[in-house]
Structure 1
């Protein structure tokens, strides 16, 4: 939705144009008005104006002088000139690159609609071009880190790569600006953050220090502790800061030698993927040792790095990541680099080879789909996980089921109102107990039914909310017909952006807000005109149309007769009675 500012020093013309444009273009423009060029400049300072419709001849600063200022200070604004017959040639000469054209005041609504349609089309084209440019500039750059993280997660969680999946991944890599080749092998490592003391641990350790002898010493020791109790759950805040600094040190050390990219896997772990012409793991190990030295110089406790000792193709990344994860639990250290490989089994443990059943990535996608009410995404992930769950592994099946059940129950409690009866008609014991079902597929069907009901309930809540908003808007309009009923004012009442409110109202009622306001004002006008003692000016004020002349124009345009003609018609229909 765009902002339109009308400028004219004649009140009748200004009001008439305002109401006509609100009625006709209320779903495309937020309409503002100003009675002078100075008033228009004040509006420009408070709002972004996309289209200026201004009279040329005005007292004080004229329209041409106004437009010269606007084109200099707000160069994106388009202009439409309003002119009289005597100014026709004058207006024609004033047309510039940002001027849509000019319209004669006496040409009527159709001429104004024609030039408004032209202006709207121009704005749409220009904003489309701007959006394309922004995708390649600042806004796009902000999205790149998230896209890269999503790419790396996909590379270590996808077990079966089809040609379509590879092609899609290749497009993502190209769009993100990553210099990775899917045809070449990768080097992979995981970096585990060192444990960090919490505030509680620091305070306990400090309490064990020798007594402080002087107030000066007391002030210094207290100042060394964090000032707030923000962090009491295991050091997450501190680890996040340390992790960021360590990650930066590692990536800086690899710059120029490797095409390397990293992504957080958890609050204590991040993934590293790298490629180079000399793609040897031992060469990468040497550069990572430099990074650890840098961490020590920065007074950071060095992380533990688990480096896969072989190059691996795209299809092998999931297996390599699984090996590194196992070694992280088998082998711990005080900071250093451990080479890990399939043949370097340093313990007698045997591990299952099917990999993680659910995986953090799928859990995140499921949680997001439930949060946003996206049924299609939820069903896609659930179907994929079901297909990848081993038929001969009951423990894996139970893990999948309980994860799905937990996420669904949390969503029902978090995103449906208390009045929802979704759980009251369900056997909660059956939902919580996997053994109550006749196998894995039967258990999943139970959850799929619950998920379908959940998404239907989310949709119903959304629809009910929309109808409630429309009801609130209609009630406000009926109580404030004599006041300003611009889209901006009504949007503030219900707490919605005017453009969103406009679309919502049209979707629910199949009417624009302007049409509803016009209908209600006409109803009130007819009711008031039935009282012969009320003056036209008084009726105009009570219907929010301000002046008798504009009320007359409004009433005739929408009914085909003047207010007086309507009154006469009412009088003629009443039988004459002698007092």
Structure 2
């Protein structure tokens, strides 16, 4: 979906462009509006835009200044200028600044459509560029990713306790992070590899994901770390605003609250771009989870634990998740003792890949030599992993385990209860099957609660701001991921739900109250009676006055 922002200080121009573009089925557009450059910047800090159509002459900050701000923050965004001023110097300044087109308002809708089409084609060409994979090949043999991975595992080991890294260590890791400042943790996971990808291809794709993240997060200080089992992590800090000379003369300082809030908004918006690039360029579904706030180095292990558990519990199908804040920390148990020995099975559990779990478990037991010690070791490794995952689920249930489930778990740890290796394997697979089913049930229940909360909020706030960003903030999710999740579980768009409820409420007010048309429009959150009339007629077929009779 291409995101397009319309910016003009004349509301009727904004409404006209919105209506015109929304009716063109050729373009997969998600439209946003702003009536000033300041409003546009507020929107752009929260949501990545692919295209901006902007007037040049506006009060306060003009369109050219807005373009320069966009270029510094979202360099891939295409800017189209639409103005009533035909002077050649405006066109020259717009093109020099990186604008993709300059259109006079008198040229009509067709010129705007042509320009939007050209911008979309340019975006698609960039998405198909394979530079990420080409750059990845030169990095595959480097030792730096291994050093970063081992350092990160040490940093997030709850047994040892984390300490701020020394400047020398950060230099060794080739990182510009500051040991004096907290860092924002974002975790990621490849949800599903492509069918024919072997180990070498998977390693190459992980480097490609790192290159994508480095390019899209170029406006902040970033340390990307490639982990095991298709996982990765980012540590993020704001870039200092002082120049190099001042930086040499000043002591490191902790960024203020506003800088961190801006950095957090930027990171959350960029997560969506990275996920889209992985999907479109690499053909990989990737989930991303943000810790939600910067953490001191001493609490990084706890933040990583929360992030991992949030990723495991998930929402919806558990694929291509975008979660902006982690759940509260729960006890992680003794998972670290077994992670490395059963890493592939654990990855299958976390990715909800039941078929692959069964295949790997069967391969493990089929390949065991005829030695009881190795058989017992393999059995208990899988059994303890299943027990650990079961405990994580139990910690989030509202009711205690049944006596039957407790008895099943107790028998799972009794190796002598199984008369053969095949019977033992069947017991493990039966427990795993029930674990997958319970997790799916929990995900569906959590998703149902989220959808219910949204629907309740919409019903009670029809006259207020019901933008996708507002609703996403309500449930701590990325706006686009929430939109997809809602459509997946209800079969309709959030905007359609809002439209239906506003129209039904408007009908009720028109038929059963003495409110005038403009009063109904105000109560339903419409800016003007004229806009309400157009909106009502488009969805009902008659004007509000005709409906009232």
- Answer yes or no: same fold by TM over 0.5: yes
What are the residue-to-residue correspondences of 1:437-448 with 2, within 5 Å?
437-448=418-429
Q: Which residue of structure 1 aligns with residue 376 of structure 2?
A: 398
What are the residue-to-residue correspondences of 1:440-479 with 2, within 5 Å?
440-479=421-460
Q: Which residue of structure 1 aligns with residue 122 of structure 2?
A: 122
**2:11 counterpart of 1:8:** no
The 1:507/1:430 distance shift into structure 2, 3 A limit, reads same
What are the residue-to-residue correspondences of 1:102-181 with 2, within 5 Å?
102=103, 116=116, 119-129=119-129, 132=132, 136=136, 144-145=145-146
Shift, 1:79, TM fit: 1.7
> Could you tell me which of 472, 494, 499 is aligned with 1:518?
499
* Kept after mapping to 2: 8 A contact 1:80/1:103: no
Q: Which residue of structure 2 aligns with residue 382 of structure 1?
A: 361
Return the alpha-carbon distance in structure 2 between the equivalents of residues 138 and 36 of structure 1.
Answer: 45
Return the alpha-carbon distance in structure 1 between the equivalents of residues 538 and 33 of structure 2.
Answer: 21
- Listed one character per residue, the Cα deviations across residues 534-570 of structure 1 (whole Å, up to 9, x for unaligned) are 11221112111121121112112222222112112xx
Shift, 1:500, TM fit: 0.8
Query: Structure 2 length as normaliser, TM-score?
Result: 0.55
The 1:451/1:423 distance shift into structure 2, 3 A limit, reads farther
Q: Which residue of structure 1 aligns with residue 393 of structure 2?
A: 415
Max Rg structure: 1
The 1:111/1:173 distance shift into structure 2, 3 A limit, reads closer
* Kept after mapping to 2: 8 A contact 1:422/1:454: no
> Could you tell me which of 490, 496, 504 is aligned with 1:509?
490
Return the alpha-carbon distance in structure 2 between the equivalents of residues 76 and 402 of structure 1.
Answer: 51
Shift, 1:107, TM fit: 5.6
Return the alpha-carbon distance in structure 2 between the equivalents of residues 471 and 19 of structure 1.
Answer: 30
> Could you tell me which of 506, 520, 545 is aligned with 1:539?
520
Q: Which residue of structure 2 aligns with residue 366 of structure 1?
A: 345
State how many pairs are aligned. Answer: 368
The 1:142/1:516 distance shift into structure 2, 3 A limit, reads farther
What are the residue-to-residue correspondences of 1:280-429 with 2, within 5 Å?
361-391=340-370, 393-416=371-394, 417-418=396-397, 419=399, 424-425=404-405, 427-429=408-410
Shift, 1:80, TM fit: 2.6
* Kept after mapping to 2: 8 A contact 1:56/1:64: yes
What are the residue-to-residue correspondences of 1:219-298 with 2, within 5 Å?
none
**2:546 counterpart of 1:565:** yes
Structure 1, gaps ≥5 residues long:
150-166, 178-229, 231-357, 569-579
Deviates more, 1:30-39 or 1:140-149: 140-149
Return the alpha-carbon distance in structure 2 between the equivalents of residues 80 and 139 of structure 1.
Answer: 37
* Kept after mapping to 1: 8 A contact 2:136/2:204: no
* Kept after mapping to 1: 8 A contact 2:5/2:51: yes
- Listed one character per residue, the Cα deviations across residues 103-153 of structure 1 (whole Å, up to 9, x for unaligned) are 858967x9867755654453344345487269639998899428999xxxx
Q: Which residue of structure 2 aligns with residue 80 of structure 1?
A: 80
Return the alpha-carbon distance in structure 2 between the equivalents of residues 88 and 375 of structure 1.
Answer: 64
Shift, 1:401, TM fit: 2.1
Shift, 1:479, TM fit: 0.9
The 1:15/1:424 distance shift into structure 2, 3 A limit, reads farther
* Kept after mapping to 2: 8 A contact 1:478/1:520: yes
Return the alpha-carbon distance in structure 1 between the equivalents of residues 130 and 530 of structure 2.
Answer: 43
Shift, 1:169, TM fit: 6.0
Deviates more, 1:467-476 or 1:50-59: 50-59
Shift, 1:33, TM fit: 3.5
Return the alpha-carbon distance in structure 1 between the equivalents of residues 495 and 105 of structure 2.
Answer: 25
Return the alpha-carbon distance in structure 2 between the equivalents of residues 45 and 359 of structure 1.
Answer: 42
Return the alpha-carbon distance in structure 2 between the equivalents of residues 427 and 10 of structure 1.
Answer: 68
The 1:375/1:474 distance shift into structure 2, 3 A limit, reads same
* Kept after mapping to 1: 8 A contact 2:5/2:34: yes
In structure 1, the residue corresponding to 2:429 is in which secondary structure?
A: helix
Shift, 1:505, TM fit: 0.7
Query: Structure 1 length as normaliser, TM-score?
Result: 0.53
Q: Which residue of structure 2 aligns with residue 223 of structure 1?
A: none
- Listed one character per residue, the Cα deviations across residues 142-171 of structure 1 (whole Å, up to 9, x for unaligned) are 99428999xxxxxxxxxxxxxxxxx95666
Deviates more, 1:92-101 or 1:430-439: 92-101
Return the alpha-carbon distance in structure 1 between the equivalents of residues 41 and 204 of structure 2.
Answer: 46
- Listed one character per residue, the Cα deviations across residues 354-404 of structure 1 (whole Å, up to 9, x for unaligned) are xxxx9974423223333443324422331221022123x233323322222
